[in-house]
Amino acid sequence: MPNPKRLLVVARVNHYQYGGRLYAYTPYARELEVWADLFSEVMIAGSCLNEPPPGDCTPFNQKNITLLPVIDAGGDGFKAKFGQIFSLPKIIWQLACYMRRADAIHVRCPCDLGLLGVLMAPVFSRFLIAKYATQWLPFAGEPWAWRLQRILLGSAWWRGLVTVYGRWPNQPKKVIPFFTSMLTREQIVRARTAASRSKSPDILRIVYVGRLSSSKNVDVLLSAIASVKLAVRRVECTIIGEGPQRAALETQAVQFGLSNRVTFTGGLGLDKVLGYYEQAHVLVLASDIEGWPKAIAEGMAFGLVCIGTERGMMPQMLGEGRGFLVPPRNVKDLAAALQWVVENPHESAAMAAKAAAWAQQYSLEGLREALRDLMTDRWGLTKVPLHTSDRTQEILAQ
């Protein structure tokens, strides 16, 4: 049987058609370009918005990626839920038409389209691979739809592979652990240089990178910063990202008297974010829910002391002395971790160096080769060829 050439990606992600180009959230866009290196054509079934993209989005550079719009019927409240039910037959029809055109199907879970993709894809293709982008084990407050998708992916119905972040107890054989980074090898070299460079001892620079939503607990970070005692070092914080909580967080910073120490940049492109990593000492991600937090992986690679929560992959990433773990929404413990960094610069540097050595093992090119080997082996294919640009080939050859 010939290798599959046309891949359909089912993903409920906002895509933006603007100025003749297709944009999406940067880590997601870079990851899909890895898939575009492995298939001659990548079709995305997802949401389409005809408007300027936010600052944390980037254009797709691969020419073999196209978007196939799917009705977006999300929202809260009775009216929105009724609309979802009313739109369901048309969404199913759209997905069925798209799946008929594909040789292989990649479903990204958990999301509403992910659930439909898991139910429908086995009818249309034998080349199936899903990504479950949060922790594989159940957790308190887990949405029922997420639990259902995880159960279906682990069942006999889903005949394909499932990639997950990290290793979890009692994983089925078809559930494959992955440790990934959104940094290229070139950017890893930049990270290694930054991690080895000494930084100002007079200022402790903290950075947060992510969406400004309630589950990210940025308000807890601001509360913790306000309670850190300043002996000799000044503490400054940069909040990078957009989201519904931004106005409330800016108000909170003013109320705490942090206006001259906390800066909100809005969403930024990856290259600008990397510039902030180069100057920062600490990265904080105190979320309620995380899968593989890419900001933590990036911060570790750049030699930052990273503080996360006991959620998703963060215990595996920051364990063995590579960082701090605090309970979600625990201001006292987060403030204590920041205070320790302020008071122990030499021990903090040793922790950051250990984290950098671990994180710098992973790159986008490494993800590409791991997926290539996985499909070749598990799908019984000949070696999957690369459809990369000349620049990508140069990077891979390094």
Whether 168 and 183 have beta carbons less than 8 Å apart is answered as no
What pLDDT shows up at residue 198?
A: 86
DSSP sequence for 9-33: EEEEEEEEEETTEEEEEHHHHHHHH
Contacts of 226 (CB under 8 A, 6+ apart): 256, 257, 258
Please say whether the dihedral angle defined by the alpha carbons of residues 83, 84, 85 and 89, taken in this order, is positive or negative. positive
**Model pLDDT for residues 135-155, shown as the tens digit of each residue:** 888 887 889 999 999 999 999
Alpha carbon distance 387, 64 (integer Å): 9
C-alpha 18/C-alpha 52 separation (Å) is: 6
Burial class (CB in 10 A: 0-12, 13-18, 19+), 295: buried
> Sign of the CA dihedral 23, 24, 29, 33?
negative
Query: Minimal CA–CA distance to 148: which of 119, 120, 105, 175?
Result: 119
**Residue 246 has what pLDDT?**
97
- Partners of 207 in the β-ladder: 238, 283
pLDDT score at 232:
60
**Gap between the Cα atoms of 281 and 278, Å rounded:** 8
pLDDT for res 61 = 93
pLDDT for res 87: 86
The confidence score (pLDDT) of residue 390 equals 43
Counting every residue written for the chain, the total comes to 398
What pLDDT score was predicted for residue 77? 58
d(CA 274, CA 191): 8
Average pLDDT of the chain to the nearest whole number: 90
Strands 57-59 and 21-25: antiparallel
pLDDT-derived band at 391 (thresholds 50, 70, 90) equals very low
pLDDT mean over 112-136: 95
Q: Which two tokens stand for residue 278?
A: 């180069």
How many Cβ atoms sit within 10 Å of the Cβ of residue 19? Answer: 9
Partners of 244 in the β-ladder: none
Task: Check whether 42 has a pLDDT greater than 60.
Answer: yes
Give per-residue pLDDT as tens, 342-386: 889 899 999 999 999 999 999 999 999 999 999 999 998 888 888
Kindly report whether the peptide bond that precedes residue 315 is cis, defined as omega within 30 degrees of 0. no
- pLDDT given for residue 374 in this prediction: 93
**C-alpha 78: how far from chain center:** 31
How distant, in Å, are the alpha carbons of 95, 192, 364 from that of 286?
A: 36, 25, 25
Task: Select the more confidently predicted residue: 7 or 392.
Answer: 7
What domains does the chain contain, in order, with CATH numbers? 6-180+363-397 (3.40.50.2000), 185-359 (3.40.50.2000)
Torsion of CA 380, 393, 68, 99, to 10 degrees: -10
Give the tens place of pLDDT for each residue, 246-304.
999 999 999 999 999 999 999 998 999 999 999 999 999 999 988 788 999 999 999 99
CA–CA separation, 276 and 260 (whole Å)? 18
Q: Say whether 388 sits in a helix, a strand or coil.
A: coil
58-68, pLDDT tens digit by residue? 999 999 999 99
Closest Cα to residue 39, out of 398, 391, 381?
381
Across 185-190, average pLDDT? 95
Per-residue confidence (pLDDT) for residue 76, from 0 to 100: 56
- Rounded to two decimals, the pTM is 0.85
First to last CA, the chain: 33
H helix intervals, 168-217 = 185-195
Tens digit of pLDDT for each residue in 199-237? 877 889 999 999 999 999 999 999 999 998 876 678 999
Q: Which residue do the tokens 């259902």 mark?
A: 148
pLDDT digits 0-9 by tens, 331-343: 999 999 999 998 8
